[in-house]
Structure 1
Amino acid sequence: MKERRKKNLIEARTLQIWNVIYDVIEVVVSLIAGITANSSALIGWGLDSTIEVVSAGTLGWRLHGEIKGIDEEKVKRRQKITLNVIAVSFTLICIFISYDSITKLINQETANWSTIGLIILLVSLVVNPILIYFKRKYGKKLESPALMADAKDTFICLYQTVVVLIGLILVNWLGWWWADPVAALLIVPYAAKEGYEAYNKAKNINYNTAQND
């Protein structure tokens, strides 16, 4: 049983490493595209990918600790830190997206077309469902709320991808200047909900109880 769990831990950590590598690429491309096109939705999407890098990296650190055999209390402490990082990250992205989108709605700023933005969005539509599937798979195998929360984070990124893509098309094909900031604002309720859930899970972790991660 211990060997099987260790194997799952190693595979889950490897998944997080690949997640970080892809998200770094996603961050660089989407932020360049978003800033160039003055797109709130693309910038917000890129910043959420930044949060995914932090989340996946912190979760990888927590998994690495258990692989190395640190005691249960330290494992739970790392799990709590991971969930708190996810919660704080969601909060920050909600604040930024709200401010940026509302400002652009007030100023009636229009986003420009971005071919590179379109490409990274389409790539994300393929990559993120794969990441979600394997995060959930190992989250269930390891009974890990941190991995399940991270899977939800990636699902939100997938949802964002669809919303941002629709916004990009509406702005440039139909001339709906408001579609871009509105698409960004649609991200906020989901991000806020998942951040709150991650915070509650972290709060309920008790170092003194003998439970699985």
Structure 2
Amino acid sequence: MMDAKKLYKVAFGLALFTIIYNIVEGGISTYLGFEDESLALFGFGSDSFIEVISGLGIAHMVLRIQRNPNSKRDDFERLALKITGFAFYILVFGLVVTSIYNIWTGHKPITTFWGVIISIVSILVMWGLVVWKRSVGSRLHSDPILADANCTLVCVYMSIILLVSSGIYELFSIPYIDSIGTLGLSYFAFKEGRECFEKANSDKYCSCD
């Protein structure tokens, strides 16, 4: 049975892994999305980069609650949340405008094959993180870590949207499906941005559970 000190190390390790994974996923997704002219995959990768900023706040949070489990959100975490929220709103604006433009012009991606592959990998990795974070949070009786696990579910939902839109286009070449998938990603990105500002202005941990 792990003691609390080791469990906090695991929680911090999961936060660092999330950051590194999102950097790698963001780089690959934006590159392949640009090369294949898949807006959904490019937007998915851009979201991953924004999640890195959020991840830095989470890693800081784990260290804070390890020192004092009853402490409140500090200035660094609030700043990270506000920057993340602004970044999400900017991303949503760009994705929505480009989606509408693509639908208007009839633009279609060259292929969405890599969107299928990346989304499947992301679903498996993110769901594994959700389960592991929930396990650690439950054993520590830590609301902040459990809330982070619940918020990680949003990444699973976005991966499912990418999988569905990319899969449908790859199989049937239905026009506009990539742009429609992008609008679905924009919806969740907007919700994430709003929740970031809600959390930055209060001491609650997550409104996405």
Q: Under TM normalisation by the shorter chain, which class is it?
A: 0.7 to 0.9
Q: How many residues align?
A: 201
Unaligned runs of 5+ in 1: 207-213
Q: Could you say what the CA RMSD is over the residues aligned between the two structures, in angstroms? A: 2.8
Match of 1:19 in 2: 18
Q: How far did residue 47 of structure 1 move?
A: 0.8
Structure 1 residue corresponding to 2:88, chosen from 84, 87, 90: 90
Question: Equivalents in 1 of 2:53, 2:76: separation in Å?
Answer: 14
Deviations 1:116-154 (A, max 9, x none): 33322221121110112233444553221xx45544553
What are the residue-to-residue correspondences of 1:7-156 with 2, within 5 Å? 7-67=6-66, 69=67, 76-139=74-137, 141-144=141-144, 147=145, 150-156=148-154
Question: Equivalents in 1 of 2:84, 2:3: separation in Å?
Answer: 27
Residue 143 of structure 2 aligns with an amino acid whose one-letter code is E
CA contact (8 A) 2:29 2:41 kept: yes
Match of 1:211 in 2: none
2:198 is aligned with 1:200? yes
Residue 182 of structure 1 aligns with an amino acid whose one-letter code is I
Match of 1:175 in 2: 173
Match of 1:210 in 2: none
Residue 108 of structure 2 aligns with an amino acid whose one-letter code is T
Question: Equivalents in 2 of 1:86, 1:159: separation in Å?
Answer: 19
CA contact (8 A) 1:33 1:114 kept: no
Residue 184 of structure 1 aligns with an amino acid whose one-letter code is T
Of all paired residues, the percent bearing the same amino acid is 25
Q: SS of the counterpart of 1:186?
A: helix
Q: SS of the counterpart of 1:187?
A: helix
Deviations 1:137-191 (A, max 9, x none): 44553221xx455445532221122211221222232221200000110122233
Q: How far did residue 8 of structure 1 move?
A: 3.4
Question: Equivalents in 1 of 2:165, 2:147: separation in Å?
Answer: 27
CA contact (8 A) 1:62 1:79 kept: yes
Question: Equivalents in 2 of 1:195, 1:107: separation in Å?
Answer: 29
CA contact (8 A) 1:59 1:82 kept: no
State the TM-score, normalizing by the size of structure 2: 0.81
Shift in CA distance, 103/138, structure 1 to aligned 2, threshold 3 Å: farther
Instruction: Using the TM superposition, name which of 23-32 and 70-79 deviates more.
Output: 70-79
Residue 50 of structure 1 aligns with an amino acid whose one-letter code is F
Question: Equivalents in 2 of 1:171, 1:14: separation in Å?
Answer: 37
Residue 167 of structure 2 aligns with an amino acid whose one-letter code is I
